[in-house]
Every structure is written in C-alpha cells, then in structure tokens.
Amino acid sequence: MDTVIEEKQESAAAAQEQQPPKITTCTVQKDNLAEALKIASTFLARKSTLPVLSSYHLSADSGRLVVSATNLEAYARVYIGAFTDEDFAIAAPGKLTDVIALLNGRIDLAVNHKTDKLTIKSQILVEKKGAKSIKQENTMVGIDAAEYPILPKCDTILARFGGADLKRLIKRCLFAAADDESRPILTTLCFDVKASSITACAADGFRLSKDTIPASDTFPGQYLIPSRIFKTLDSVIKDDDEVTLRGVYVEEKGVGRVNVVEFATDTIVIGAQTVDGRYPNYNDIIPKDTPIRVGVGRKEMLSALHAALVFLKQSNYKGGFLSIYADDPGTLVIESTEPDLGASRW
C-alpha cells in the first residue's frame, strides 16, 4: 500500500516538473519606467545584509505597474500605466535601472514564476537620424516577492493639502533641519496638524524656520517626520497635485500614536517611520516682541552675503566670523573675517 502511494506521489511530482512554467507579461513605456525607478532608487538599501532590500519590488495592480523600494526606515511606491495579462509580483535587482536606461520605446517584461527570473525585451537606438535600432533581450535573476518586506498600510488620513503649499513649506523649512544623527528629534520636520492648517518647524540648535499651510480633513496631532524624505518629495510633487498625508495609527496601553506616515498623490507614495519623542516648544523660542526692525533689498542682501561667505568657506564656517550691524540709521554693514584669509566689508 505504501509503495503504491509513493509511486503516485512521484508520478505527480514528475508531472508537475514537466508542466511549462507560468509566465506573466507586462508592457510599459521606457520613459515612465525609468522615471519610476529613479524615484524609488532613493529608498534602496545600499549596504544591507539582506539582498532583497537592494531590489525593487515590481507588481501589477489593476492595470498599473507598481515600482516599490524600501530600506525599512522609508519607502516609495510609484504607479505607472501598463498593459498586463494578470497580476504578478517579483523583486528585481537594483541593476534594473542601468538596463532600462539603455533601452528605447516600448519595454516588454516577462516574469517566470517558477524560476523567479525577469526578462526585459526592447530595442536600443543606435542611430538617431536614421532611426536605426537593434533588438535586445535581458534576463535578470530576481527574488521571490514573498521575501520582500510588507510595506505599511496607512489607512488613517491625517490631512489633505495642495502640492504647491507642500513645496513652499519644504523650501522654507528643510534647510534648518539638523543632519546630526546624535540628536534624532532635530533631524525631523515637526508637523503640527490643527483643525484647518499645518504648521511645520525645523531647527538644528542654531537656526529655526517655521511655516504654515492650509489643510483639510485633518487629524490633529504632532508628527515628527524624518527630513531625509522631503528632498525627494520636493522633486516629485507637482504644484497642482492634491497631497494626502496619512498614517498608521496604533494604540498602546490606552495611548494612541502614529508610527508611520506617508505622502500620497494619484501616482506616487513616499513614506517613513516617525521619530518617537517630544519636539522642543518652538513657540517659546521665537521672540514675541521685535522692537527693532530692518528693511533691506533682497538682491543687495544676497549679493553682500555671497561675497562675505567667500571668506568663511575656506575654514568650513569654523574659525571665521560674520557680523551684521547698522553703521548709521540708513546703512547696514555685513562683515566677514577669516584669520588666515582676510576680511570683507559690504
């Protein structure tokens, strides 16, 4: 009896091996895929002991190709139009970016679900004037998508606001955030979400910047968001985008907090783990009274500062001095001094 069962099992296994592998195909435009990979590449883990973190996660979802990447602290998902016969998922090596950059026009992707291999077919343009091209086929060894980290599901809406407002906020605040990891709180942008607005603040112990933008559908609270994701956000968000800030809300011992946030548009999602802690009360730092006010022309001020900083850059802003004072009621003086270089006075 046991012999009969073993023979049936072996027969079934042999039949399964002889079956052709399942192949899923997908067609995208080169420019769209290249742009998606460029955005996601910022979030690849460059020196991770887990190879899957240096790979892109490619998946087909409802007629779109989703390109994802994560380093476990931050992540990105980019949605592009695609033609696919059915849903699929595979982790593709980071070198996929270099392969796609060589190709042209329409790109055909094929996923072998048995061997976890990704085949990329397209053409290389060899002569622009004569529009001559050669066909090319590449096969890359991928990783089973089941091994890829599951990205957070942010289902709590924290606020909605315009892309132009977010870009303005980033421009005005990001420069003031600290880059010293020994003080993680100050490496964040503090988002104070209120009933109809968001006030963002950044500070590094020497300077502080604050800005407020209008918002709707708000979930009031204070969220400390790592500053490193905002440079990417500034480059990919468009002025006419509607941006949704959403997060993962959890309760521990009766206390609720948001431990992951993401900024989402129709085609791009960028998220990160929030930093746990309490941000300094920046409203107490900002002076309430300003009895002395000085008005200067923006262009004249920038020109003077650029010239003055020439005498400080040699020492990386250490050891030099920048002084700003009124010479008389109608004149503002900007001076810089560097012991080993010299001085400038405007």
Domains 19-147 and 156-285 share a fold: yes
The pLDDT score that the predictor gives to residue 247 is 96
The pLDDT score that the predictor gives to residue 74 is 96
Looking at the chain, the whole-number percentage of residues with pLDDT higher than 90 is 55
The pLDDT score that the predictor gives to residue 220 is 95
CA atoms of 121 and 111, how far apart (whole Å)? 12
Amino acid at 330: G
108 contacts 88 by C-beta, under 8 angstroms: no
pLDDT tens figures, 302-318? 888 888 777 766 545 45
The pLDDT score that the predictor gives to residue 335 is 83
Nearest to 152 by CA among 266, 259, 280: 259
The arithmetic mean of pLDDT across residues 327-335, rounded, is 79
pLDDT tens figures, 1-21? 455 455 545 554 444 455 677
Six-digit token string for 327: 């010479």
Q: Is pLDDT of 232 > 80?
A: yes
CATH of segment(s) 19-147:
3.10.150.10
Q: Is pLDDT of 234 > 90?
A: yes
The arithmetic mean of pLDDT across residues 191-203, rounded, is 95
pTM: 0.83
More confident residue, 76 or 305: 76
The arithmetic mean of pLDDT across residues 198-204, rounded, is 94
Q: Which of 13-27, 88-102, 122-136, 283-297 has the highest mean pLDDT?
A: 88-102
235 Cβ contact partners less than 8 Å away, ≥ 6 residues apart? none
**Domain spans in the chain, listed from the N-terminal domain onward:** 19-147, 156-285, 298-345
More confident residue, 132 or 79: 79
56 contacts 71 by C-beta, under 8 angstroms: no
- The pLDDT-based confidence of 46 (bands split at 50, 70, 90) is confident
Burial of 282 (0-12, 13-18, 19+ CB in 10 A): middle
The arithmetic mean of pLDDT across residues 102-129, rounded, is 82
The arithmetic mean of pLDDT across residues 202-226, rounded, is 94
Strand order in the sheet with 188-193: 208-214, 197-203, 188-193, 221-226
CA distances 125 to 50, 105, 132, 214, Å, are 36, 9, 6, 48
The pLDDT score that the predictor gives to residue 183 is 87
pLDDT tens figures, 252-277? 777 889 999 999 999 999 999 999 98
CA atoms of 71 and 97, how far apart (whole Å)? 17
The arithmetic mean of pLDDT across residues 87-114, rounded, is 90
The per-residue DSSP string of 229-289 comes to: GHHHHHHH--TT-EEEEEEEEEEETTEEEEEEEEEE-SSEEEEEEPPPS----HHHHS-S-
Nearest to 162 by CA among 199, 215, 236: 215
């960028």: which residue's tokens? Answer: 270
CA atoms of 30 and 128, how far apart (whole Å)? 16
The arithmetic mean of pLDDT across residues 204-219, rounded, is 93
CA atoms of 106 and 25, how far apart (whole Å)? 13
For residue 102, which phi and psi values (nearest 5 degrees)?
Answer: -80, -20
The arithmetic mean of pLDDT across residues 227-249, rounded, is 95
- Of the candidate ranges 14-23, 154-163, 314-323, the one whose mean pLDDT is the lowest: 314-323
The pLDDT score that the predictor gives to residue 320 is 59
The pLDDT score that the predictor gives to residue 4 is 47
Q: Which of 104-113, 259-268, 277-286 has the highest mean pLDDT?
A: 259-268
More confident residue, 134 or 180: 180
CA distances 160 to 76, 204, 226, 246, 264, Å, are 19, 27, 19, 9, 10
The pLDDT score that the predictor gives to residue 42 is 94
The arithmetic mean of pLDDT across residues 170-191, rounded, is 92
Task: Give the CATH H-level superfamily of domain 156-285.
Answer: DNA Polymerase III, subunit A, domain 2 (3.10.150.10)
215 contacts 169 by C-beta, under 8 angstroms: no
